[in-house]
Structures are given as structure tokens and as C-alpha cells.
A = this chain, B = another copy of it.
Amino acid sequence: MEPIKIFAIAGALRAGSFNRKLLKVAVEKAKGASVDFADLKEFDLPLYDGDLEAQGLPPGVVRLKERIAAADGLLIATPEYNWSIPGTFKNAIDWASRPPSNPFRGKTALIMAASPGQFGGMRSLLALRQVFVTLGLFTIPQQVTVSFADNAFDESGQLIDPKLDAQLQKAVEAFISVTSALKNRN
């Protein structure tokens, strides 16, 4: 049985993003999976504009769609801006969903969030789940929110709270189990 393929991306452009840190910890726990760890920045996406799209999909959009299409499941870590998905990240999702194909359909997703505040990006995840329904993603119920994210990681980038780390471990295991079961079903 070939290993499942995961596309991992954080919904932020900032180099020191807490969510990229969180994503790295999650990826380390995805033993046995083949992970494509992307940086949102590398796709150099413009803001979505129907008039721009009419001239053809920008090259970064084409690459983003291909990378998503190649995966069995998505590992996502997103900031929360104003109680919802960052516009920057939603813009990437909007572009990736454009015709001729929906690369999200039928794949699984594990969603996570880190934020400096008390709610740990919870509201961003609630908003993201709604978006992922129409994209046809199986977003598993397990999710991880990291509150007070500026103090949540140690110098080596690991989660300081062992309970949170164990929760992430279990979430990643559930994600891999479900992704594998859905990939290999008849």
C-alpha cells in the first residue's frame, strides 16, 4: 500500500508565522506519509479578480491547483483575522477552486489554528469548515487550536504544553487513518 500524500500549508505570508510553526510540528507527527510542505508565498498569488481570471489563470494558481490535486489530504494551519479566515488565505482558496477543476473534492482535511489570543483561532476554524463543505472536503472533526501562541512553542519549535502536543498527535493519527481508509476504499 503506497503512503498517503499530504499537502501542508499555513494560511499566512509572514515569515515568523505561528501557524507555520504549528504546521511543522504536525508534519513531524505524520509518520509514514509523504508530505508536500508548501509556503503560501511561493505561489505569488494576485488578489482574485474576475476580469483578471478571464485572461487565464495566473501561473501561481495553476501550480497551487496541481499541488493540491496531487494530494490525498490537506494539513492546514490558519491564523484568525477578525474572527474569520484571513483574506490572504481565503484568496488562495478562492483561486484554487476556480475552473476547470476543483482539486479539493473528495480529499480529507485536518485544520488547526494558532493565535496570540485566548480563543486560539477557534472562530477561524469554524469559518473555514463552512468553506470546506462546499469544496467537497472531508474535514475531520478533530481539530487543534493553540491559544497564546507567542508563548506556546519552545526554542526548538516544539509545543511546550504536553497535553496540547498529545492532542495534536491524536488528531494527526486520526487524519492519517481516515485519509488512508478513504483513499483505499473500493
Residues on A lying within 8 angstroms of B by beta carbon are: 12-17, 45, 47-52, 81-95, 97, 118-119, 122-123, 126-127, 129-143, 147, 177-178, 180-182, 184-185
With A81-B90, A82-B131, A122-B123 known, 19 other A-B pairs at CB within 8 A are A13-B50, A16-B50, A81-B94, A83-B131, A83-B134, A85-B90, A86-B94, A87-B89, A87-B90, A87-B94, A88-B91, A90-B91, A132-B141, A133-B143, A136-B142, A138-B178, A139-B141, A177-B185, A181-B181
Q: B residues within 8 A CB of A81? A: 48, 90, 94, 97
| Bound Cα distance from A182 to B12, whole angstroms | 32
Check A127/B129 contact, CB under 8 A, given A50-B12, A86-B94. Answer: no
Question: How far in angstroms is the closest Cβ of chain B from A38?
Answer: 16
* A45 cross-chain contacts in B, Cβ below 8 A: 47
Q: Which of B47, B97, B142, B143 contacts A88 (CB 8 A)?
A: B47
A83 touches B133 (CB 8 A): yes
Sorted nearest first, the 10 A-B pairs with minimum C-beta distance are: A87-B91, A87-B90, A14-B50, A181-B185, A13-B49, A83-B134, A181-B181, A81-B94, A87-B94, A47-B88
